[in-house]
Structure 1
Amino acid sequence: MYSSTNHTEDDALISTDNYSDYPDYDPGNTSGPVVPTPESPALCTDVGCVLLATVNVIITVLGITGNGLVIWIAGFKIKKTVNTVWYLSLAVSDFLFCAFLPLSVAYIVKNTWVFGRFMCKFTYFFWFLNWFSSIFLLVIISVDRCVVVMFPVWAQNKRSIRRALVIVLLAWIVSALLSLPAAIFRDVDNIYYDSLVCYYNYTHDDEDIAVRVCRFIFGFVIPLLIIMFCYFLIIRKLKSNHMARSNKPFRVMTVLIVAFFISWLPYHFFHILEISLKDPNVISIGQRFGSTLASTNSFMNPFLYAFMVKDFKRKCYALLPKIESTF
């Protein structure tokens, strides 16, 4: 039976869910970047802790580098089109997420939240804002590709940079609304020994369940179904009209769907599972693994999307000698 009390953590670094029932338990509700186990105030020394910190550092470096390159190319080096608006917006979202990951690394290493209550609320709100916006932009890119293939004439007449910017703005607004629970319910408390934790301080169990289910539906199920449906229509159109000269487009679309599914399923699975499962070790390990895997999506997106586009690849190859000479 699920007991939450009013200290439930559903995402981001650490969860104090059920801490009254398990005084030595850190559910590790890592709904954003991952967090340490606050069983003691000691610094990060064990293998698992070091591995988590190392993976987050790698994600940060690769994410900032890859997305920064996309921002540079899409923002300054190639002609502005609807596609560049999508890729630039996606890169900005992932770049900002990765830029805040060092806070997660500090949390893991120090095993205590040292940034205060405001930063606890703001950081997690910001993480989820960029996470949701990244997911919604992947959906927008998929729908746009489907429209271009299915209705090429209409797309040529109606697609415009201005409309693309409006759609991106709406995606960010919806993302902000879905991220509000992090700003409203996040709190800082001295629960485990001398370690401060940044956790969800829900008033009722129903609030916790509602947030988890809402994120699962709007952050995974609906986006995945839309992406799969769009690529199904594209593949059927290409095959029926013999428009694809090779199997590469089909392989690419398969990779995109599989990457999204693998990145996000473990995260949502373990956060939904926590509602009914009362095994703290399974939940803690699963949520940390799921959150880390979900974070990798932020540095994979540039390679899965932007760098597959010919204009991006040509410009990137042209810039590599300049980058090399600079270093």
Structure 2
Amino acid sequence: MDWMTLAGVYLLCIFYAVAEVIICVLGIAGNGLVIWIAGIKVKKSVVSTWYLSLAVSDFIFCSTLPFIVVYVVNKDWPFAFFMCKFRYFMLWLNMYSSIFLLVIISVDRCVLLMFPVWARNKRTIRKATVIVVLAWIIAAVCSTPSAVFRDIRHSTYKQQTTCIHKYSYMKNYIATVTCRFVSSFLIPFLIIFICYVLIIRKLFNQRVRYKKPLKIMTVLIFAFLICWLPFHTVLLIKVHKKYVSITIQHFSFILVSANSCLNPFLYAFMGKDVKEQLDKVNMGNVVTQMGAIELSLIQILYCMRSSCILHRHLC
């Protein structure tokens, strides 16, 4: 490499590290605040159960980001063999659980608006807890291949250790990546999209003022699409042995990471009970400023107003 190339790689590493550190700090702060409010301050409900579990998932994910930052900056895996497997298992566990919970929240909102009487009688905290536990179990099962097929490789020539995926057969790797794309992006996105289309149609038919909910739900859909589509696109390209620049790979993972610190502001902090608790502890302005910083990370140019989603129906 010439010095220009080395300088470019160095700047890329700095940009990636700084971006992930910012996301880590904002994600831990935002999700930690949601955990405190939804778990302690707010009266337990079905909605608070969703938000609490989503916040726990995103909090754990953001807490593990420093491992990746150290790995990328040093170009060397300084941790133990167990941590190689554990880190990537936790990475996918929290990705899956977070995505599944976003789907659950979308379906719950849709059912609550489409079938209000049935939802009032059937939606219980106990059932919500069971659904959350099942979502985590399924997420753990889906994440297992990430741990099973992870290994450490030592290079005496380069004097470095790498944490790599190691499949005996290429077809196993292709099957894993394809299943991940279908189960953690394609199907969840379709479900979320359909749910919000049904919600908008219902509001329109009832002649409810829907401009503000429409903007919010558009942001939710596009945030999911923007954060996850590049990541899965990169994986699908790589599985066919096509070259993907390291810059694009880093940027796609930054978007995925950003989703975990955006969720508290896209979901929890829009809720009526959560906003009331924030006002009590004078945190409203802080949350607004943090939300503005996080939204700018992925250049979503929508104005996120402090209004309750679909008014009292979906809070």
TM over 0.5: yes
State yes or no: 1:224 paired with 2:189. yes
- In the TM superposition, what is the alpha-carbon distance from 1:323 to its structure 2 partner? 11
- In the TM superposition, what is the alpha-carbon distance from 1:109 to its structure 2 partner? 2.5
Aligned mate of 2:87, from 116, 119, 123:
123
Equivalent position SS for 1:288: helix
Q: Kindly tell me: are residues 321 and 197 of structure 1, through their superposed partners in 2, closer, same or farther at Cα, counting changes over 3 Å?
A: closer
* Identity value in percent: 53
Q: Which runs of 4+ in 1 moved over 4 A?
A: 321-324
Equivalent position SS for 2:282: helix
Equivalent position SS for 1:46: helix
Q: Is the deviation greater in 312-321 or in 55-64?
A: 312-321
Gaps of 5+ in 1: 1-23, 25-38
Q: Aligned equivalents of 2:141 and 2:199: distance in 1?
A: 31
State yes or no: 1:83 paired with 2:30. no
- In the TM superposition, what is the alpha-carbon distance from 1:135 to its structure 2 partner? 0.3
- Summarize the alignment of residues 46-195 of structure 1 with structure 2, pairs less than 5 Å apart: 46-191=10-155, 193-195=158-160
Equivalent position SS for 1:196: strand
Q: Is the deviation greater in 225-234 or in 100-109?
A: 100-109
Q: Kindly tell me: are residues 45 and 291 of structure 1, through their superposed partners in 2, closer, same or farther at Cα, counting changes over 3 Å?
A: closer
| TM-score using structure 2 length | 0.85
Asked if the contact 1:90–1:134 (Cα under 8 Å) also holds between the matched residues in 2, the reply is: yes
| TM-score using structure 1 length | 0.82
State yes or no: 1:257 paired with 2:257. no
Q: Kindly tell me: are residues 124 and 235 of structure 1, through their superposed partners in 2, closer, same or farther at Cα, counting changes over 3 Å?
A: same
Aligned mate of 2:175, from 210, 219, 228:
210
* AA partner of residue 276 (structure 2): R
Asked if the contact 2:278–2:284 (Cα under 8 Å) also holds between the matched residues in 1, the reply is: no
- In the TM superposition, what is the alpha-carbon distance from 1:103 to its structure 2 partner? 1.0
Aligned mate of 1:303, from 245, 248, 265:
265
Q: Kindly tell me: are residues 293 and 322 of structure 1, through their superposed partners in 2, closer, same or farther at Cα, counting changes over 3 Å?
A: closer
Asked if the contact 1:274–1:283 (Cα under 8 Å) also holds between the matched residues in 2, the reply is: no
- In the TM superposition, what is the alpha-carbon distance from 1:291 to its structure 2 partner? 1.3
1:233: which partner in 2? Answer: 198
Asked if the contact 2:12–2:247 (Cα under 8 Å) also holds between the matched residues in 1, the reply is: no
Q: Aligned equivalents of 2:245 and 2:35: distance in 1?
A: 37
Q: How many residues align?
A: 281
* AA partner of residue 228 (structure 2): W
Q: Aligned equivalents of 2:10 and 2:205: distance in 1?
A: 56
Asked if the contact 2:113–2:199 (Cα under 8 Å) also holds between the matched residues in 1, the reply is: yes
Higher helix share: 2
1:5: which partner in 2? Answer: none
Higher relative contact order (CA 8 A, sep 6+): 1
- In the TM superposition, what is the alpha-carbon distance from 1:290 to its structure 2 partner? 1.1
Q: Kindly tell me: are residues 74 and 201 of structure 1, through their superposed partners in 2, closer, same or farther at Cα, counting changes over 3 Å?
A: same
Q: Kindly tell me: are residues 322 and 55 of structure 1, through their superposed partners in 2, closer, same or farther at Cα, counting changes over 3 Å?
A: closer
Asked if the contact 2:203–2:210 (Cα under 8 Å) also holds between the matched residues in 1, the reply is: no
Q: Deviations over 1:264-290 (max 9, x none)?
A: 0000011101233533xx343322221
Equivalent position SS for 1:254: helix
Q: Aligned equivalents of 2:229 and 2:64: distance in 1?
A: 23
- In the TM superposition, what is the alpha-carbon distance from 1:320 to its structure 2 partner? 2.5
Q: Kindly tell me: are residues 305 and 323 of structure 1, through their superposed partners in 2, closer, same or farther at Cα, counting changes over 3 Å?
A: closer
